[in-house]
Amino acid sequence: GVSACIVDVDAPELPVLDGSAAPWLDAINTVGLAPLDDEPAVAVSLSRPLAAPDETSDGWAIAMPASEPRLTVGIDFSSHEPIGRQWFTWTPDPETFGAEVAPARTFAVEEHLAPMRAAGLLRGGSLKHGLLCSKRRWINGGARDAMRPPHLSTAHAPPRQGPLRFPDEPCRHKLLDLLGDLALLGPLPLAHVIAYKASHRLHVRLAAAMLAQDGAGPHVDVAGGLRAAGHCHVPTPHPQNANNDA
């Protein structure tokens, strides 16, 4: 994957595009990658399990020592019938990322729109930039809104559910969030990371704890990376849905 690049933007944050990582992956695959002469970075490893609770909700994130990276994410939007409770597990693999994780789009629940817009967020946002859910239904339309990225073949994708690319698309996008936050460490840690109703802040708190325990790992400004990613400006949602900074 990409371990070194310069990102040049003329706005406070990157464009959301369709709310997934698929357009970025397509663009990177189009131009290709160039090898680096630098020594490969060493992945963080753990000597014992670590936990990062969320004092504002019942969310949590843990990391357990493992021989290879593995990510598991759980979400609970039981007050929103189309989402409900979901779990998704993925072993990071460049061969499956494009089909199983990258196309999953960001999402929001309808009642959070007004507070987010009042905070100056979502300006210019539309149903082309992600998924929107009410308590009873997905507000996005049908097949046209669920247009499948070119590399996501029918053979690799589960059956659609309404406008979704996957029945568990919200949970897969949360795993994409976790993957991006852990990338602040450099190579993904040798750990099974499990996050439940977790926010970006909680992901990064766990990443910082892993870095502190490892000691010999790369010197990364995790908090600085979080600020640069804009996550520090994500409003804290209602505790019942503390996992909704999608």
> Which residue carries 């900074």 as its tokens?
245
Would you call 156 a catalytic residue per the annotation? no
Task: Give phi and psi for 232, each to the nearest 5.
Answer: -70, -10
Q: Which of 80, 129, 192, 200 is catalytic?
A: 200
Specify the length of the chain in residues.
246
> Which residue carries 């994708």 as its tokens?
157
Beta bridge partners of 61: 52, 195
Task: Give phi and psi for 135, each to the nearest 5.
Answer: -65, -20
3-class SS of residue 70: strand
Task: Give phi and psi for 54, each to the nearest 5.
Answer: -110, 110
3-class SS of residue 12: coil
What is the C-alpha separation between 234 and 227, in angstroms, rounded? 10
> Which residue carries 């949970």 as its tokens?
171
List alpha helices for the chain, DSSP H.
22-31, 94-100, 113-118, 169-182, 200-214, 222-229
Catalytic residues: 200
